[in-house]
Chains A and B, each alone.
Chain A
């Protein structure tokens, strides 16, 4: 584990954080049967005798789920096991139709990986490496809906393919944990193997946290916080939990091994169940399934098919587009944003301007409207055209902002907006001269002052001319012509 950040301590304690991320793989059918995986199906519509666990039904592995898992493993720098095994995890719960979950246990598909990412803001960031202990395939359970007197079970989710990505206990701060989770999500989305949608549960995050006195040789008792549904809450929940655990230890209490839930409204965690009477899951290899055999040829094929991943793309943005590292990292954090940027840059052939417009104007509007990049009313080609209009001198940078906000509300092409609103930049020297003459005529006193040596007034004249032209006068021409006129002896 390499990190150039100074160790972070909390009241003389150190926090040990590990994450388990469940990624729902973006397949058309389930892990072991042909049920659809659509999110909004009617009650038990996406089920079959297999996913309901009817007698005699058997699992058959989804080829694409294997492919997606291997690709994720490769992207996370894991070793891919030549032979991995599906086991049965036996326990009773109504959402578990067979009385066991098929999951990889002692022989997982992916092991011993690591991932690097940056933590902190522009001025104070450091690189962090987190180890990936393992990533294994398993099937999801169904969903329970509680109604007080009874519970209703829907098995649409039963058998959905999951990849559980388990990190080492390598994180020390809530920020590192949240950034790790964001990075994993970003990788999954670049690979196009998972929606990464925390609200719909296609990505789920469990955090393991313990604290120990600085220098203590052993980790403290680990507490698990389950199913946190945003990265901001990952940070907040861990923050709260570190404090809570230190308080408890300081008060001489024993931390029980337990599972807790985070309540975002109250910003606290509360106990869900104790883990002390550890469940006996009676794992054994599923005799209905053969081991998963992965050949070197398969691994090579998938490796070749890997898309450009966030870090590589950021590096390319620096070298190819000449962007500062920070901008490159911001633009590549989300696959869609990086793709958006590249289209803008390609359209206007001005990477620096493209990056500025995307990072300031566009991201601001998107954040305010709480929209994802894919929902932007301005298409990347349109933003590129807008920048091109500035570069061609058709409109000024200032007018461009007006055009941009019109595009945001109407989704119209920039040329159309410029034409409709009559915002074309005035580069006709005759027209500009006429405006200048009018402005100078209306401000004779200031003209006299200027010529008397108060050259600071130059800005005043520029402003007045621009105002008179409704901002449409070409500022370069205005500057040049004003200089000429004012300096010409009367």
Chain B
């Protein structure tokens, strides 16, 4: 059902490098899993609102106050590459 070509397309969408061997494996495993998961199509759900957050709770919003807890240095400390306090990436455009 999910052939290698579909796997390549999904891998592209997910920005994941997948080797030829992995693609083969994923194709088989995901097809098998999805084949099994198909069973939910048998449940009648017409007009049922999808459920995202499973327990009922009150909505709350934040007051509009600015707070600074960390310095720019602390926030860029984990960067694989940086220039000053900016994150460095390959040329974009």
- Are A and B close enough to touch in the complex, i.e. CB under 8 Å? yes
Residues of A within 8 A of B (CB): 27-29, 34-37, 42-45, 47-49, 52, 60-66, 92-94, 144-155, 280, 282, 285, 287, 290-293
Q: Which residue of A lies closest to B81 (CB)?
A: A150
Stretch in B17-25, B26-34, B40-48, B60-68 with 4+ CB within 8 Å of A: B60-68
Report how far A139 CA is from B70 CA in the complex, Å. Answer: 21
Report how far A144 CA is from B88 CA in the complex, Å. Answer: 10
Given contacts A35-B66, A151-B88, A291-B59, could you give 9 more A-B pairs where the C-beta distance is less than 8 Å?
A: A29-B66, A44-B85, A44-B86, A60-B60, A60-B62, A61-B61, A150-B90, A151-B89, A287-B52
Given A144-B92, A149-B91, A290-B53: A43 touches B66 (CB 8 Å cut-off)? no
Q: In the complex, which residues of chain B have a beta carbon less than 8 angstroms from the beta carbon of A290?
A: 53, 57, 59
Report how far A365 CA is from B12 CA in the complex, Å. Answer: 58
Q: In the complex, which residues of chain A have a beta carbon less than 8 angstroms from the beta carbon of B72?
A: 42-45, 47
Interface size on B, residues (CB 8 A): 33
Report how far A61 CA is from B59 CA in the complex, Å. Answer: 10
Whether the pair A154, B86 counts as a contact (CB closer than 8 A) is: yes
Q: In the complex, which residues of chain A have a beta carbon less than 8 angstroms from the beta carbon of B92?
A: 93-94, 144, 146, 151
Cβ of B93 under 8 Å from chain A:
yes
Which residue of A42, A144, A152 has the most chain B CB atoms within 10 A of its CB atom? Answer: A152
Q: In the complex, which residues of chain A have a beta carbon less than 8 angstroms from the beta carbon of B93?
A: 146, 151
Within the complex, the shortest CB–CB distance from A83 to chain B, in Å, comes to 10
- 30 A–B contacts, CB within 8 A, in A order: A27-B64, A28-B64, A28-B66, A29-B62, A29-B64, A29-B66, A34-B66, A35-B66, A35-B68, A36-B66, A44-B76, A44-B85, A44-B87, A45-B71, A45-B85, A47-B72, A48-B70, A52-B75, A61-B61, A63-B63, A66-B61, A94-B89, A94-B92, A146-B92, A146-B93, A150-B91, A152-B83, A154-B86, A280-B13, A290-B53
